[in-house]
Every structure is written in structure tokens, then in C-alpha cells.
Structure 1
Amino acid sequence: MDIPAALDEQRRLGDDWADWLDRLPRLCDDLLDEWRLTPTGDPMGGRASIVIPVGGVDGVAVLKIGFDGLPETSQEHLALQHWAGDGAATMFRADPRRRALLLERLNEQDLTQEWDLQACEIVAGLYARLHRQAPPRLRTLTGFLRPWLDALERDAADVPMPPRLVAHALARGRAFVDDPASDGVMIHGDLHYGNVLAADREPWLAIAPKAMSGDPHYEIAPLLWTRWEEMSGYLRESVQRRFYTTVEAAGFDDERARDWVIVRTVLNAHRTVVDAERMRRPLTDADRTWTTTCISVAKAVQR
């Protein structure tokens, strides 16, 4: 099995990625053989997984194998099992140890071509179906958040964001950790325009959850930092339109949603610094552009 070039480029992220990519061709071949699947198209590579169109006893499907070093994707199978195709792609089979999933094949069309405000309303409609009581085995949002905040506090002086935003994120993040409402609801975790695909059985279905037991208000941020190039010239207004459209359609509390956006964007900027340090390299132009995006989103949602 040939690995798509875009996925193979992730070797630059460290030895753990290189090791997984070295093992991936054999892993693909083994799963195709064990699950009696026949490839029916070229493999596609995302940033952290390979997706292979296949045919088998369940009909047309896709075999997805994810990078095994990301804790936030380790329970994708639990979420898909719990949703059972209601608002999300159906899962036919899973091997969690190998991060392998056999999934319903959806269409290639996603929400990136839809008017962004209409797309936000579609995503908010999916929230209503995906957000349900979390199963006990699902890892909690606050369990992830606590060490993220500890690391942010240690490195606060080195995060390339205004100190007041870092302080705000730390204060509100700590408050969220102590708030029982921050856990308990099953959330997708990464529901942006590219993770909603058109389907034959329904107009739109979610894919690729980074599932957690958490707070529904955590969900909005990816809708604000993706499709970024469309907001040139009207940045603050465009971010605010997306934010309020989603909050209203989902029935969310705008203050709580606003604080989660700020927490997430500051944590993103910190993670960029940590990744550069781990790879022993200076911040790149892409890193600085991403950090600027995070700052812009955080400032735009503030009153």
C-alpha cells in the first residue's frame, strides 16, 4: 500500500510519526487481508490518518487507520458506536488497538462550498443529534484540559499572544475544570466544515470525531478558524457573524461559548510553541500565521 505524499510529510513531526508511517503499509495490507476487503480506489491521506475506499461483506465502505500517538483520537470508535449512524457516519467494524475503523462510505462533498452561515446552521443541527449523555468510558474534557492549562501556565511568558488573553484563558479554563457542567455530554471535539460530508441516506453526516465527555459550548471554535481566507477584509464582523449564528441556532449561552473559544485559541497557540520546541526548530512562517489567526479569533469574540 502506497502512503499518500501529504500524509508521509508528517514524518517531520518526530520519530513517533516516522515509526508509524514506516509500519503503516504493512498495517494496511494486514487489515485488508484480515477483514477481507478489496481496495476500490486510491488511498487518501489526512493529517493523521489514511482512508482507503474498499468493498467487502458490508458493501462499499472505507477503511480508516489513524495515527496511534494522539490521545484525543483514541476513542473515536466509542463515539461512532454510541451514535450508531445518527448524525454521523456508520461504523461497521473497529480495531481500537490499531486505530482501524471500517466506515460507511460518504460522498466527497463537504460544507466548505456552502455559504458559511448556512454551514454553521447545519453544524448546529448536528450538535442537537450528537450531543447526548456521554458513556462512562469516554474520557473527559476536563481530564484533557487540566494538564493543558498546567503546561500553559508554566510557559505563559513564551506564548506569542497578548498576556491578557493568556491570563483570561487560564482563569476561565481553571473555572471550567472546576465546573461540573464541563463534563457529561458527548461532544465531537473537531466539528468544522471539512468534517461534515454529504451522504446518500441523509444530507449531511459528521466524521472524524475527537470525542470526549464534555461541554457542548466547547464545539464552536473550529467553525471560526477554518475557511479563514474567506474573511479577508471583514475579519471581526465575519467571525462574529459565524459565532452568533451558531450560538443562536444551537441554543447556547454566548458568554460560555465565548470563553471556550478564547481558551481553545490560546491553547492552540501554546501547542504551536511546544511542537516547535519538541522538534528543536524555530517558529516558522506557518506557525506565526496560525498564531495570528488564533489571536484574531480570540479578539473578535470578545465584547
Structure 2
Amino acid sequence: MSSWAESPPGVLEPPERGPEWASFAATLPRLLRDLLDEWDLVPDGPATHGRAALVQPVRTEGDPAVLKIAFPDVAGEHEALALQHWHGGGAVALLRADPRRRALLLERLGPTDLSDHWDLEACEVVAGLYTRLHRPAPPQLRTLPSYVERWTPRLGALPRSAPVPRRLVEQAVALGRDLASDPASRGTMIHGDLHYAHVLAGEREPWLAIAPKPLSGDPHYEVAPLLWHRFDELEGDVRGGVRRRFHATIDAAGLDEDRARDWVVVRMLRLVLRELEDRPGSPDRDRLTTCLAIAKAVQD
């Protein structure tokens, strides 16, 4: 096996990922070799990686595919389960899985995603996928309210000196509590992280979703990532740009405007809380500004 498969480039580099990532990365070369041997896969190009997984192009019985080995985090723990339920309808097809080792053999899609498409057209493409991916949730999935219930009290406990308008904090806490107690906030399997880079061009369908972080949740929760990704493109008209994306998405998906808006506010303030907790004393001010601008824009 060539050296790039034995030592995926750059996986061990990010020190900020901490000891858990370092431990996971250290096991990757052996795990990759084992899976290639056990599943009779032939490497077909260099491995790549993001913040959550290693992806190795392979051939299986001559056909192109990719082997994905994911970091064992909670968010993506049921990726294989979601892909099994979708059966390739609107999402990348799952060919084989070893959930214990977080290994997936997937159909190989093209390199093109929605990042370079006109943002409103891309929002409509994603909205079209919602209608195919949102199905009754299997019982194994964690529920969206279980997450909201955990962090809402922490948001409410932020000091008044925190660099975030108190009215938005109080609004997001109230909305979070209401949404978490609403039965409609669970029961639908949602992708959880569907945005421009998580939709790839395919051969059997024009566009297919990848990398789900599935939850038993509310379809209206899905909209927010389309607003914060590619945010720099909105410079000069942030309010108008956010609102155009928001309305293009909910109109194409047939979502309720008020409920989608409430989830956007809740999700943006959740990102604010994460930034303040992850970087106490030195939060990324640009990130905070982005989150707050989006939460305000959908309400203006």
C-alpha cells in the first residue's frame, strides 16, 4: 500500500482537536489497512480528511466508491442508520457499514457541490432534498429537544456582560423552552447539517446529500446552516441577503415561516453560546457578529 494510505496527510496536524482526536488519528493507518483488506477494496487516489472524517477513494469489484472513517462523536453516531433509511433517495447510497468502527462504504459522487451555485438556486435545491429526507424517525435517534433542553439553561446563565444583546438571549431561551416542549419538535428524521458543501453532484441524481448528523427533530430546524454558510457573500446587504435565502428555502420546502424563524434564532444563539464557552475571554468577534446579524435579519 502506498504511503499516502498509510499516513493520511495532515490528520495529525490540528493540535486544537485535543487528545481524543490525536488518539483517533493514531489508529487510522491500521484501521484503514484493515478495512481495505477485509472489504477487498483497492485504493484509487489519495485520502482526504475534514474535521470529522477520513475519506479514501477506492474501487470495489472495479466500481468506484469511497471509504469513510468518521471520528466517534455523538453528532454523527447514527449516520449509517440514516443512510440505510434513505436507501439512496436524495442522499448518497450506503454500500456497506461497520457502525462499531464508524466505517462506511459509499457510492462515489462528483467533486462538485453547491458552493459555487447562485445561493438562492442552491437554497431551492436543498429545500427540495428536505422533502425527500424528512421521514418518520427511527427510535434509535437522539431527539432534538434533548439537546435544546441541555444548553438552554446555560444560555440563560450568561452574564449580562457577555457580548450579546440580552434581549436576544432571553428571546432564544424562551423560544428554546417552547420548542423543546412541543411534540412537533421530534418524530421526523432530519439531516441536521445540510448546507451547500454537504450536497454533491451525482450521476444517478443531479444532487445528493452527504454527511448527515441525524436527529429525531423538526424539519424547520434545518434552515439555519444555509444562512451562515457563505455568509461573506452577503457583504453589503446582509439583511436582504439573509432574508432572500430564508424565504427561498421555506417557500420551496413549504415550511411555516414563523416556526422556521424561531429555530433560526435558537440555532444562532446556540452558536453564540458555543463560541463563548469554547473561547472564554477571547471569542471570535466576527463569528459572534455573524450569528447575531442572522438572528436579527430574519426578524426585521
TM over 0.5, shorter chain: yes
Letter in 2 for 1:4: P
Q: Does residue 1:29 correspond to 2:33, yes or no?
A: yes
1:98–1:294 CA distance, 2 compared to 1 (3 A): same
CA distance in 1: counterparts of 2:130 and 2:146, whole angstroms: 22
1:16 aligns with 2:15: no
The Cα shift of 1:157 comes to 4.3
Q: 1:134 aligns with which of 119, 137, 140?
A: 137
For normalisation by structure 2, the TM-score amounts to 0.94
Superposed displacement of residue 73, structure 1: 0.7
Quote the RMSD (CA, aligned, Å): 1.5
Alpha-carbon distance between aligned partners in 1 of 2:157 and 2:168, rounded to the nearest angstrom: 15
Partners of 1:78 and 1:288 lie apart in 2 by: 37
Give how far 1:58 is off.
7.5
**Residue aligning to 1:162:** 165
Query: Contact 1:159 / 1:270 at 8 angstroms: preserved in 2?
Result: no
Aligned to 1:4: 9
Give 1:27 deviation, angstroms.
Answer: 1.7
Q: How far, CA to CA, are the matches of 1:159 and 1:246 in structure 2?
A: 32
* Structure with more helix by fraction: 1
Aligned match of 1:300: 297
Equivalent residue, structure 1, for 2:88: 85
Q: Would the aligned equivalents of 1:10 and 1:47 in 2 still touch at CA under 8 Å?
A: no
The Cα shift of 1:154 comes to 3.3
Deviations 1:126-148 (A, max 9, x none): 00100111112222111222112
Contact 1:236 1:300 in 2 (8 A): yes
Tell me by how many angstroms 1:155 deviates. Answer: 3.5
Structure 1: stretches of 5+ with no match in the other structure:
none
CA drift at 1:17: 1.4
Which residues of structure 2 form unaligned runs of 5+? 1-5
Determine the structure 1 residue equivalent to 2:3: none
Give the structure 1 partner of residue 207 of structure 2: 204
Aligned residue type for 2:152: L
Instruction: Name the structure 2 match of 1:118.
Output: 121
In the alignment, what sits opposite 2:262?
259
1:154-189: CA deviation from partner (whole Å, max 9, x where unpaired): 335465321111111110000011100000111001
Distance between the aligned counterparts of 1:245 and 1:262, measured in 2? 18
Which structure 2 residues correspond to residues 217-296 of structure 1 after superposition, within 5 A?
Answer: 217-277=220-280, 282-283=281-282, 287-296=284-293
Structure 1 length as normaliser, TM-score? Answer: 0.93
- One-letter amino acid matched to 1:206: A
Cα distance in 2 for residues equivalent to 1:58 and 1:133: 36
| Whole-angstrom distance in 2 between the partners of 1:222 and 1:301 | 13
**Percent of paired sites with the same residue:** 54
- Give the Cα–Cα distance (whole angstroms) in 1 for the partners of residues 37 and 160 of structure 2: 51
Deviations 1:59-98 (A, max 9, x none): 2110111111x21110111100000100000001111121
